[in-house]
A = this chain, B = another copy of it.
Amino acid sequence: MFIKEFLMISCIICSKNMMQRIFIIFLFALVSCSQKNEPKAKDQLYLPTKHIALEGLNHPWSISFLSENEALISEKDGNLLRVDLETKEKHIVKGFPTDLTDSIRVIHFGDNSGIFEVLLDNDFKKNQWIYLAYTAKKKGLGTTTKVVRAKFDKDSLYNHETLLVAEPYTKEYFHYGGGMTFGTDEKLYITIGERLFWERDEPEIPIAQDVTDKRGKIYRINPDGSIPEDNPDFGPNAVPGIYALGIRNTQGIAVQPETGKIWFTEHGTIQGDEINILKAGANYGWPNVTTGRLRSNDYNPPKLEDVTFTAPTWFWTHTVAPTGLTFYTGKEFPIWKNNLFVPGLSRGSLWRFRIEDETIKSAEELFIDDRVRIRKVKQSPNGKLYILTDEDNGKLIEIKTQ
């Protein structure tokens, strides 16, 4: 009807020659409209597929984009790399802290030591600061999680500053945490695992419940390592910088852009894998409460006085080992906008959650027929969606639609 009207009016006002030219242009308009929008009606467009962008990575843990085709990738069992996604070149970044210990140099059991999160400062282009979480060793004592920042330039690190050392150094090589994100408040949030494998090894006050112990906590610090004055108060004996406690092993922590809230994943023991929303001063319950089962059947957590536990927003009834989650805000997948993506190690699938504020409306497990251990899901500056696979020949894989 619209086309008819257009032609009718055009006929009145234009010669035949003009008409043809206008009509051709008008058809272009309609075609361009339909071409742009039609594919959205096909399910295939939303059935994701995997496309290898880079391989030969040594158990990659984290990625931060310097530009659309250039990124820093941390290898848990290797190095900090600068990679070019066009030329596929990898450059080892020099000057990484020498007290690094990765799982190659220790017993290889469980999910263990190495380089964890690499993060750019919000003003990276001005100040060149990058933030690194990794396993640091101290001779004779063992290892622990350490967070440093350093200036990055010409594939080298310099002006190193230590921001957090999650002492004590111990002989256990598990559950370091090592996830980091900047909040909308421009504070740095850091996850530190409780470092135990068996609950029977817990001290009288469980590590994650003890505010005088640095382990099993989530921290909130200023980019320079100082402690914000508006942090929650855990008493005079509490470790500075604690923001939340009761954490077993959190690797994934990310900001929900719509709300500014911070969400994080949590590794359970036997099941008990969870997704939580970070609240100032909250206690997430480990090991006193869990949605799973304890690994030590004979362990009975002590009764704690005046404690309120914060329940998870989501938990699985099977083991997922959820890791580096992200909220998708790009334009490539319009119907995935603001969805939460959570990768998993143990089942090797990718989960998509549709969320309204703090309410999970639906949960979709993707790649059921194509599983691989996934450590991190991350979005590029232009809105491409990538995953990092936890393999000896680790890959950076772009998630595309058919």
Give me the interface of A with B, judged by CB distance under 8 Å: 2, 5-6, 9-10, 13-15, 18, 21-22, 25-26, 28-30, 32-34, 36-37, 40-43, 45-47, 317-318, 334-339, 352, 354, 359-369
A366 to B353: give the CA distance in the assembly, Å: 10
The distance from the CB of A33 to the nearest CB of chain B, in whole angstroms, is 3
30 contacts between A and B (CB under 8 A): A2-B28, A2-B32, A5-B25, A10-B22, A13-B14, A13-B15, A22-B22, A26-B29, A30-B33, A33-B33, A36-B37, A37-B37, A40-B40, A40-B41, A42-B337, A43-B336, A43-B337, A43-B338, A45-B335, A46-B335, A47-B354, A47-B362, A317-B317, A360-B368, A361-B368, A361-B369, A362-B366, A362-B368, A363-B368, A364-B365
Task: Decide if B367 touches A364 in the complex (CB within 8 Å).
Answer: no
Residues of B within 8 A of A43 (CB): 334-339, 354
Cβ–Cβ < 8 Å partners of A25 in chain B: 5-6, 9-10
Decide: A13 and B18 in contact? CB cutoff 8 A. Answer: yes
Question: How far in angstroms is the closest Cβ of chain B from A296?
Answer: 23
Q: How far is the CB of A371 from chain B (nearest CB, A)?
A: 12
CA distance A6 to B26 in the complex (A): 8
A360 vs B367: C-alpha distance in the bound complex, in angstroms?
9
Complex contacts, A33 vs chain B, CB 8 Å: 29-30, 33-34, 37
Question: Which residue of the partner chain, among B22, B29, B40, B42, contacts A30 with CB atoms under 8 Å?
Answer: B29
Given the complex of chains A and B, what is the CA–CA distance between A131 and B6 in angstroms?
51
How far, in whole Å, are A85 and B135 apart by their CA atoms in the complex?
65
Q: How far is the CA of A18 from the CA of B18 in the complex (A)?
A: 12
A26 touches which of B18, B26, B368, B369 (Cβ 8 Å): B26
Interfacial chain B residues near A366, Cβ < 8 Å: 361-362
| Copies of this polypeptide in the complex | 2
Known: A2-B28, A13-B14, A25-B9. A42 touches B334 (CB 8 A): yes
Residues of B within 8 A of A360 (CB): 368-369
Given A2-B28, A363-B365, 7 more A-B residue pairs with CB atoms under 8 Å apart are: A6-B25, A13-B15, A13-B22, A22-B22, A37-B37, A43-B354, A317-B318
| Chain B residue with the shortest CB-CB distance to A48 | B362
Closest 6 CB pairs of A and B: A37-B37, A33-B33, A364-B364, A41-B334, A317-B318, A13-B18
Q: Choose among B21, B318, B338 the residue that contacts A13 (Cβ–Cβ < 8 A).
A: B21
